[in-house]
């Protein structure tokens, strides 16, 4: 129909012109007093000079700028609309196709990292930080990605883990390896405690309650002076030992240090490298657990709950218990990560467990693509490693960080990698055929 | 239709004085009926008659205001459904249901949908996932059995070739049948279908009829059916319950119900001559004559 086509193409142009004119008008209103009038100190007192050319330039620039911006946005969005859905899944599929080799390469790199030529103390520190967030991301992925429970207070469990290690170590003289499971169990228990009353809530309401819970834990930590030393935090948390062998230049008389035992010269890097491997192993355990449990009844029930809770009830799945397991298992991994954080820092205070941390962990999960394990890794490297790499930008760091998040959400609204591989196939085929059939599936109306 | 004569079956579901009130609105008003084992019982009635509300009471989504719902499970004994928590009704009493607006796990594959339905059996086999976590043989065997059951139902509904498809990408008719297969995977003794033929074309409706007759014959379970499509209701049901404004107005075999004056009135309205004052009839004159 030519008529409708003509109006269809004409109206956006008119709208664009109108929008630009409005922008120009606003600019004019602002520019007349701000740019057009200038007070100049002259012998006779202040006089008013006018600079109408400046106003004209400003208004013209705003008009043209708005016009060009609109045209550009229209062109981009038209192209993107056609491509978006396809590219989001196809990137996920592409990564999925090469998942085995990619994972192997990444794993090899991660294992070899401490001994690569460019690796120094700084690189190791950043890598440990990134790995901590990868582990937290994988842990939260169980809750948010698999079970679909929006948890804005995940950092509370991280704090429980950190404080339980610090307090057990100081008050009962327990080592890191004894405290690690205890911290995980305590965090899981807190997950249950929180979960029981609130998991009847859905969506936004759950998010608000978990957000409140995160703040509660932090405020309790600040105010329970006698136990937690309030906002001064806990200092002198014992460093981890190599299964009993401390990392120290010289040891007390009755113990052997790590470097003495292995008869190598002492270097402060040894402890850092050890910490790196500890968090690497912890993170990999989290990942292996998640990958395994996805294929078990509980994991499938989590995903089913995320898809449709009503249908789950009609199939005899207990929604409350199923959510509770997801919540407390996610909390447990945060507890592990927390006690690692405490031993690595040697000092913890409530300042480390503010809401921003929860938000960053959630951002890692969401930007990576809900439920995608590799996506979490990439997002953690980008979000945690990125700001470290561009530290030269100084105060513009957070601006760049925000900009990056906006860009990811524009290009990949469903996360970097949003492709889900079924947990079980009737006919296990070679991956290429599987991907082709999934593409055919997607093409259907 | 070569259906074996059904032996006088015992009652499977006994609904007594079921009443459901939402504030001042009475959605179901003192409804009693019996659904037998190895029979297809249809619940019909005009829109808003309270059919889906009956289902929601049966499957624990609503707690009835008044009434008793007894399910006589052949192996596990009687259950009082109105006292059970929602998810325990399918889990223990074996009442499965489908939904008027399809509720599949649309992001998961067809096979996964059927495996999730066997959640409770698999949970027991995997010792609440611990055995599965350790990759014990017991869980692997249980999972293979679950896949076999899923394969059986996929064969029944003709979706075996699409087992690894994403459920949400199936055509509408296939989604309807998949939802029935998923409900059957919990091994129910009573299958409640909420408008299974809605949106199906005549060929798909015929397939559906065959599927339901097969289920009745081979599984020996009771089927409770809400349906507007009279070809389904009259074609396969053994027994029809008619609701109107929350009240039961008929309860008989399909042929009798078809000729029941109360039912005809509920569906087609009151006789206009008696019900409407003459001046209204005057206004409506043309319309009425036109029909």
Which of A50-54, A187-191, A410-414 is most confident? Answer: A187-191
- CA nearest neighbour of A334 among A176, A162, A200: A162
Is B140's Cβ below 8 Å from some Cβ in A? no
How many helices and strands in chain A, by DSSP H and E?
18, 2
Q: What is the rounded average pLDDT of the residues A18-44?
A: 86
Torsion of CA B120, B121, B125, B127, to 10 degrees: 10
Q: Report how far residue B241's alpha carbon sits from residue A235's, in angstroms, rounded to the nearest whole number.
A: 75
- Note the pLDDT of residue A5: 40
Is B163's Cβ below 8 Å from some Cβ in A? yes
**Cβ–Cβ gap A422/B112 under 8 Å:** yes
Phi, psi of B246 (to 5 degrees): 80, -5
Q: Report how far residue B69's alpha carbon sits from residue A106's, in angstroms, rounded to the nearest whole number.
A: 59
How many helices and strands in chain B, by DSSP H and E?
13, 10
- Note the pLDDT of residue B132: 65
* B 95-114 → A contacts, CB under 8 A: 96-97, 99, 103-109, 111-112
In sign, the C-alpha dihedral spanning B88, B89, B94, B99 is negative
Start-to-end Cα distance in chain A: 25
Q: What is the rounded average pLDDT of the residues B213-223?
A: 90
Q: Considering CB atoms only, which of A303, A312, A441 is closest to B166? A: A441
- Note the pLDDT of residue B116: 92
% of chain A beyond a pLDDT of 90: 27
**Cβ–Cβ gap A426/B108 under 8 Å:** no
- The size of the A-B interface in CB pairs under 8 A is 129
Q: Report how far residue B200's alpha carbon sits from residue B192's, in angstroms, rounded to the nearest whole number.
A: 18
The class of domain A100-433 in CATH terms is: mainly alpha
What are the structure tokens assigned to A245, written together?
């062998």
Question: Is the interface score ipTM higher than 0.90?
Answer: no
Q: Report how far residue B219's alpha carbon sits from residue B189's, in angstroms, rounded to the nearest whole number.
A: 9
- Note the pLDDT of residue B275: 54
In sign, the C-alpha dihedral spanning A118, A122, A123, A125 is positive
Does B217 score more than 70 pLDDT? yes
CA-nearest residue to A298 within chain B is B129
SS3 content of chain A, % helix, strand, coil (to 5): 75, 5, 20
B239-244/B40-44 β-pairing: parallel
Start-to-end Cα distance in chain B: 36
What residues in A contact B142, CB-CB < 8 Å? none
Does A301 score more than 90 pLDDT? yes
In chain B, domain spans: 1-94+187-259, 104-183
DSSP, collapsed to helix, strand or coil, labels residue A77 as helix
Residues belonging to chain A: 445
B190-194/B66-73 β-pairing: unpaired
Does A65 score more than 60 pLDDT? yes
Is A427's Cβ below 8 Å from some Cβ in B? yes
Domain B1-94+187-259 belongs to what architecture?
3-Layer(aba) Sandwich (3.40)
Identify whether the C-beta of residue A164 lies closer than 8 Å to the C-beta of residue A342. no
Q: Considering CB atoms only, which of B86, B107, B126 is closest to A296? A: B126
The structure tokens 């005899």 sit at A316
Does B183 score more than 80 pLDDT? yes
- DSSP letter assigned to residue B170: S
**Cβ–Cβ gap A425/B99 under 8 Å:** no
H-helix or E-strand spanning residue B36: strand B25-36
What are the structure tokens assigned to A313, written together?
């009830």
The pLDDT-based confidence of B276 (bands split at 50, 70, 90) is: low
> Half-sphere exposure of A124 toward its Cβ, with a 13 Å CA cutoff?
21
Q: Report how far residue A331's alpha carbon sits from residue A329's, in angstroms, rounded to the nearest whole number.
A: 5
In chain A, domain spans: 2-73, 100-433
How close does chain A come to B16, measured CA to CA in Å?
Answer: 23
- Note the pLDDT of residue A432: 45
Q: What pLDDT, in 10s, does the model give residues B80-125?
A: 988 888 888 888 889 999 999 999 998 899 999 999 999 988 888 7
CA angle B76, B81, B86 (to 5 degrees): 105
Give the residue, B185 or A41, on which the prediction is more confident: B185
Q: How far is residue A296 CA from its own chain's centroid?
A: 26
């Amino acid at each position: 129909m030519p008529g409708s086509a003509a109006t269809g193409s004409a109206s956006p142009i008119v709208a664009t012109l109108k929008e630009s004119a409005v922008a120009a008008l606003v600019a004019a209103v602002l520019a007349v007093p701000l740019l057009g009038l200038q007070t100049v100190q002259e012998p006779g007192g202040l006089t008013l000079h006018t600079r109408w050319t400046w106003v004209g330039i400003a208004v013209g620039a705003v008009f043209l700028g708005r016009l060009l911006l609109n045209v550009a946005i229209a062109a981009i969005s038209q192209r993107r609309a056609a491509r978006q859905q396809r590219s989001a899944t196809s990137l996920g599929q592409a990564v999925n196709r090469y998942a085995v080799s990619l994972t192997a390469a990444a794993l090899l790199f991660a294992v070899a990292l401490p001994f690569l030529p460019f690796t120094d103390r700084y690189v190791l520190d950043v890598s440990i930080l990134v790995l901590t967030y990868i582990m937290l991301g994988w842990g939260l992925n169980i809750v948010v990605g698999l079970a679909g429970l929006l948890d804005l207070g995940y950092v509370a469990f991280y704090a429980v883990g950190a404080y339980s290690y610090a307090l057990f170590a100081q008050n009962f003289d327990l080592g890191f390896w004894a405290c690690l499971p205890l911290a995980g169990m305590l965090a899981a228990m807190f997950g249950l405690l929180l979960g029981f009353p609130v998991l009847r809530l859905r969506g936004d309401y759950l998010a608000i309650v978990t957000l409140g819970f995160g703040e509660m834990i932090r405020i309790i930590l600040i105010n329970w002076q006698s136990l937690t030393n309030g906002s001064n935090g806990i200092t002198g948390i014992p460093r981890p030992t190599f299964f009993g062998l401390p990392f120290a230049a010289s040891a007390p008389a009755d113990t052997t240090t790590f470097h003495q035992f292995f008869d190598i010269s002492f270097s402060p890097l040894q402890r850092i490298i050890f910490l790196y491997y500890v968090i690497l192993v912890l993170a990999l355990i989290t990942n292996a657990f998640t990958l395994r449990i996805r294929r078990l009844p509980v994991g499938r029930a989590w995903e089913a709950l995320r898809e449709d809770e009503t249908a789950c009830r009609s199939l005899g799945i207990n929604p409350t218990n199923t959510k509770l397991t997801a919540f407390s298992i996610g909390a447990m991994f945060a507890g592990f990560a927390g006690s690692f954080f405490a031993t690595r820092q040697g000092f913890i205070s409530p300042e480390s467990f503010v809401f921003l941390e929860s938000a960053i962990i959630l951002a890692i999960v969401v930007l990576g693509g809900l439920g995608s394990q590799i996506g979490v890794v990439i997002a953690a490297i980008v979000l945690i490693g990125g700001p470290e790499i561009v530290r030269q930008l100084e105060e513009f760091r957070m601006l760049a960080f925000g900009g990056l998040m906006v860009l990811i959400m524009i290009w990949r609204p469903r996360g970097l990698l949003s492709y889900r591989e079924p947990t079980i196939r009737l006919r296990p085929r070679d991956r290429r055929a599987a991907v082709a059939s999934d593409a055919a599936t997607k093409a259907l109306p | 239709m070569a259906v074996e004569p059904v032996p006088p079956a015992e009652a499977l579901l006994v609904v007594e004085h079921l009443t459901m009130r939402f504030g001042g609105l009475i959605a179901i008003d003192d409804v009693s009926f019996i659904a037998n084992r190895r029979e297809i019982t249809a619940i019909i009635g005009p829109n808003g008659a309270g059919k889906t509300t009956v289902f929601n009471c049966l499957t624990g989504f609503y707690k009835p205001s008044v009434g008793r719902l007894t399910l006589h499970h052949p192996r596990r004994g009687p259950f009082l459904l109105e006292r059970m928590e929602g998810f325990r009704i399918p889990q223990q009493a074996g009442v499965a249901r489908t939904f008027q607006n399809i509720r599949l796990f649309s992001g998961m594959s067809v096979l996964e949908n059927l495996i999730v339905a066997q959640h409770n059996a698999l949970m027991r086999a995997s010792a609440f996932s611990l055995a599965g976590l350790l990759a014990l043989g017991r869980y692997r065997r249980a999972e293979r059995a679950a896949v076999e059951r899923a394969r059986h139902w996929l064969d029944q509904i003709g979706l075996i070739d699409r087992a690894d498809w994403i459920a949400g990408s199936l055509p509408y008719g296939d989604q309807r049948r998949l939802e029935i297969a998923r409900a059957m995977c919990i091994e129910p003794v009573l299958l409640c279908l909420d408008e299974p033929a809605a949106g199906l074309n005549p060929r798909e409706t015929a397939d559906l009829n065959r599927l339901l007759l097969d289920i009745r014959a081979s599984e020996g379970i009771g089927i409770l059916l809400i349906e507007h499509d009279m070809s389904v209701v009259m074609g396969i049901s053994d027994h029809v319950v008619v609701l109107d404004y929350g009240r039961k107005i008929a309860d008989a075999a399909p042929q009798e119900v078809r000729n029941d004056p109360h039912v005809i009135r509920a569906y087609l309205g009151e006789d206009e001559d008696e019900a409407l004052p003459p001046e209204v009839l005057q206004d409506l004159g043309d319309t009425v004559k036109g029909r």
